[in-house]
Chains A and B, each alone.
Chain A
């Protein structure tokens, strides 16, 4: 163990804590802080006294007395040549981790110091993103992970940070969202912030965790954590990092070479078999679900184009699926498909379906909680991944990892005659799909015109007004949209893997605001804009995320779906009251956000986000949206409060 650990033992931090514990009850609240100040000063004193020596004597009572007074402490001498935490940051840099969301905590003071100070370009890759709540930190990682299909880091303070973040972790798990969660652990400091097996608190809903005991092991573990997060089934992983290791001597410790994970795809024989069926088909079809990364989406498009397949997509209900207005996407010219290949989706004659979180849930669920939806079902009748039940042959293999082999075989088997037949089919499908799109849009507009000039504003109008304004922007719709009618589905062109990031993975409210900010991290680096149709109930769990958007210049346009209620619950209560014959006139109690109404423009302003509203006249929407889009394109988040119809 490191020298630093020895230092800490010698200065007897537990002693200080004991002292704090016997303080009068009235002081109990401030006792930990007192201990904090005293301990830090004592550590600094010890470090100063040691003047670089490896083992230091405990400070004398006089020294402690002097150092805990108002006298400023002497500058401590560095106890290590290369801080261990610098090496940890180097590992993250080489992995290409862009961001680290966090609320500061002493259990990772060393790592935080390295993040902000280490390297040629300190505080980049990853950049420290300041969050006002740990739930936000993890929700942001979720938004980012959904948009990019790759992990960033959420850095949490011990037992406390983990608990504040726990619902967000739980949702990331349900959603199979890759992320690396690092929790600092400081066993010598405030005991309530630590635990022997800290990851146990979230083990039942994380994919993997580790608690390395040495610095070299920690560096390996960080790489393994990254590999675990991105390997199917993707999901959140946890690394517990002790302060001793963060502060350990890193001189002479090598950064291990990163080996990307090998995610198995179909074997050569299966590739041959599937390629043959696709090529033999007169009217092949792809059923595309959620792939892991943008690369998978690219290859799905390539395969559809190569074989001239019409395609079903999930891109209007979540990320990483087939672009919904691609000429191949739609019913095609003939709906009698003679071979359907599923890519993480069905129905299909053959579907490649990689492992989902459900497949490892029982293994990880050490408490036997058996979370709903992840319980092992005795005889699974439907394929995991929402594919439906009509799957002729299910191949338990990651579709994305299988695509390159399949494409290669198809390309090799291509003949001029095949090419001609395929080109013909592609043209026919494109015409039919285009027609279907135009008709679908028209039908949708026929429905959405009802209530067009209503005040409060109709939700269909919000999405419709936005459509032409974002058409030529690179946009990402990051908020869940079920509560605002999901009108983007039939009006907007979902042509990117990140066009729509989908619902709250486990239905938890308070997620949308954070996820949108996380998508904003990805967007800021890529000159993209984020659209967040923000429900009011969701906003109020952790509104401090607005400050994070302002502070870090995140291009997030939040449009309040301000129905002044947890409206979903209000409707449930109304039905319940009616069923009991008691009337619905008291159902608003506990389910509405009135008396007083919340002023979201002021809320945004308080956190440094420009805003406007409340808008009640729908004719004012377009101009406000234009101002908002201009603002976010200039790197400034913007909030527009719109008083809306409830649904």
Chain B
């Protein structure tokens, strides 16, 4: 089993654990969250709309962003090891660096993201690319 699938199981379990219990968290404000998403550089690895870059934050059915509690847990529990070689992995966000209320604002903003992924068949350019790939090869073009 890969590390990421192990993690997925952990977070699914967490999501289940948090299920039902009334949320202690107050809901975040997506407008404030938008500014924070930029200021804390989330856009840097997830794209401005959460769908380009290292990992999509929309349309993935990830348990990590299914509930605010799990999301907060995820932010805090990232390893605080110093990378011996430069890393672009998801940073750890300590309570001090990104307090719960702000993190929840970001969460609220992330939840506003709408997946923008038209069908391949509906994009003319993609149709042309597929047709081109299917065409017989011509040496020297």
Contacts and interface: CB of A to CB of B under 8 A. Distances in A.
B52 A449 contact: no
B52 A450 contact: yes
A571 B91 CA distance: 9
Contacts of A541: none
Nearest to A587: B41
Contact of B48 (A323, A456, A474): A456
Interface stretch (B12-20, B25-33, B63-71, B114-122): B114-122
A646 B137 contact: no
Given A434-B134, A437-B133, A646 B97 contact: no
B51 A454 contact: yes
A459 interface: yes
Interface in B68-112: 78-83, 86-94, 96-98
B129 interface: yes
A525 interface: no
B117 A458 contact: no
B116 A452 contact: yes
B118 A467 contact: no
A493 to B, nearest CB: 7
Contacts of B83: 575-576, 579
A464 B41 contact: no
A449 B41 contact: no
A120 interface: no
Contacts of B87: 572, 575
B53 A645 contact: yes
Interface residues of B, number: 52
Nearest to A326: B137
Interface residues of A, number: 59
Contact of A454 (B49, B79, B91, B97): B49
A72 B46 CA distance: 67
Contact of A578 (B47, B51, B86, B92): B92
B133 A438 contact: yes
A495 B78 CA distance: 45
Contact of A449 (B48, B86, B88, B118): B118
Interface string A424-449: 00000000001001101110011001
B133 A441 contact: yes
A467 B129 contact: yes
Nearest to B97: A583
Contact of B92 (A454, A455, A581): A581
A450 B115 contact: yes
A577 B82 CA distance: 10
A471 B132 contact: yes
Contacts of A468: 125, 128-129, 132
Interface of A: 301, 323, 325-327, 434, 437-438, 440-442, 445-446, 449-456, 458-460, 464-465, 467-468, 471-472, 474, 491, 493, 495-496, 565, 567-568, 570-572, 574-585, 587-588, 622, 645-647
Given A325-B137, A646-B43, 8 more contacts: A326-B139, A438-B130, A453-B116, A454-B48, A496-B141, A580-B80, A581-B94, A646-B47
Interface of B: 39-41, 43-45, 47-49, 51-54, 56, 59, 78-83, 86-94, 96-98, 115-120, 123, 125-126, 128-130, 132-134, 137, 139-141
